Amino acid sequence: MTIKDTPEEWEIRATDTPFVGNKTSVRTDDVVMPDGTVVRRDYQVHPGSVAVLALDEAGRVLVLRQYRHPVRHKLWEIPAGLLDVPGENPLHAAQRELYEEAHVKAEDWRVLTDVYTTPGGCDEAVRIFLARGLSDADGERFEVEDEEADMELARVPVEELVRGVLAGELHNTCLVVGVLSLVAARQGDGLDALRPAQAPWPARPFES
């Protein structure tokens, strides 16, 4: 048996979109089960996201602290953001987010991992990049607003982030998955063996 996720789509008898928001919507599908019964499934429709684990020469990860209203917490996270345009190149989006949230650019980009954040209730797909060769971005800082205006930035050793994840002190999906994937990649074939930055992404196809 091969342990690998595979695409599959069960029959949908009816569909409705009871809510349409600024960036996401809610869809209701009547889905035919293998035994022929039809069940209703509600889920959030999401454009997809990118995240950046930016690793400096001292072995520290660039993280930011931001208020997240749905969970009523300030969470430590890695830079991340939405794919603003359907079919947008995820690398370009990641480079934009690293610049806007941290005013940083990177020379070396790799795909660290791809995840579905909450596949039981949302179709969001996230590509997490590893960025190395960090330096200050050119030009003026991006003008942030709303929750981002209150962000804090820090550079934290990988080992400290791993400790926080395993202690239940850090909860952001992209940070947790990114940091643990980084450690696994280092212990495996090494960071240079990671997929190239323009590797195909079936969950959110794009033009290079």
**pLDDT mean values, one per 10 residues, the chain (208 residues):** 94 97 95 98 97 98 96 97 92 96 97 97 98 92 66 96 98 98 98 98 92
Q: What is the CATH number of the domain that holds 85?
A: 3.90.79.10
User: Could you tell me if residue 53 is inside a domain?
Assistant: yes
Q: Tell me, what's the pLDDT at 150?
A: 79
Q: Are 197 and 100 in contact (CB under 8 A)?
A: no
Do 153 and 181 belong to one domain?
Answer: yes
Whole-angstrom CA distances from 202 to 7, 15, 48, 119 are 9, 23, 12, 15
Do 82 and 41 belong to one domain?
Answer: no
Alpha helices (runs of H) in 34-89, residue ranges in sequence order: none
Rounded-to-10 torsion of CA 112, 143, 154, 56: 50
Residues labelled catalytic: 148
Q: Are 90 and 201 in contact (CB under 8 A)?
A: yes
Q: Tell me, what's the pLDDT at 145?
A: 62
User: Is 6 strand, coil or helix?
Assistant: coil
Do 38 and 88 belong to one domain?
Answer: no
User: Could you tell me if residue 166 is inside a domain?
Assistant: yes
User: Could you tell me if residue 27 is inside a domain?
Assistant: yes
Do 30 and 102 belong to one domain?
Answer: no
Angle formed at CA 154 by CA 151 and CA 155, multiple of 5 degrees: 150
pTM of the predicted protein model: 0.94
Do 56 and 18 belong to one domain?
Answer: no
Do 67 and 167 belong to one domain?
Answer: yes
CA 23 and chain centroid, separation: 16
Q: Tell me, what's the pLDDT at 140?
A: 75
Residue 183, domain extent: 49-196
